Amino acid sequence: MIELLSTIYPWVKSLHVISVIAWMAGLFYLPRLFVYHAETVGTQGETHGLFQTMEVRLLRVIMNPAMISTWAFGLLLVATPGVISWSEVWPWTKAAAVIGMTWFHHWCGLRRKEFASGTNIREGRYYRMMNEVPTVFMIVIVVSVIARPL
């Protein structure tokens, strides 16, 4: 198994990066949809239904599979010998940021359910501010992996 992981390492890393890009795209876009949904659409009518469709498809068809594949390929990378030294700081900061990103993903899912049930009480400004959360996590992850500070 160890030899196989080492052999397929470039493919796993490539698929991991592709998955991360897809996941991040959704994490950036869904809160932006929430901004427009909260500010201009409301909770009734044809446009409300259209936003519901866009939000649920983005979450279920793109974001959920991308998050799952990001985690799966990431764990395969962790299992590959010589890729990570847990005595360094960077894997821990990256892991914390990935867990934070996963929390944000689930937070988006809960907000989508509020829009679906007509119980959203948050304004567009709130979603604009929350839209910056994945950016912070992304910065921590990229700096942890590339620069490996400390």
50, 79 in Cβ contact below 8 A?
Answer: no
d(CA 91, CA 97): 10
- For the purposes of burial, counting CB atoms within 10 Å of the CB of 147, is it exposed (0-12), middle (13-18) or buried (19 or more)? exposed
The stretch 119-141 carries a mean pLDDT of 96
Residue 44 reports pLDDT greater than 80: no
DSSP state letter for 131: T
The domains of the chain are located at 2-146
The answer to which of 5-14, 41-50, 118-127 has the lowest mean pLDDT is 41-50
Render pLDDT for 45-103 as a digit per residue (tens, 0 to 9).
788 889 999 999 999 999 999 999 999 999 999 999 999 999 999 999 999 999 999 99
Q: What share of the chain is helix, strand, coil (3-state, %, to 5)?
A: 80, 0, 20
Residue that is written with structure tokens 């940021």 in the block:
97
d(CA 112, CA 57): 11
Candidates 147, 142, 47, 33; CA nearest to 97 is 142
Which pLDDT score is estimated for 1? 78
Residue type, 117: S
Which pLDDT score is estimated for 17? 98
The stretch 24-34 carries a mean pLDDT of 97
Residue type, 18: I
- The alpha carbon torsion through 38, 43, 47, 49 (nearest 10 deg) reads 120
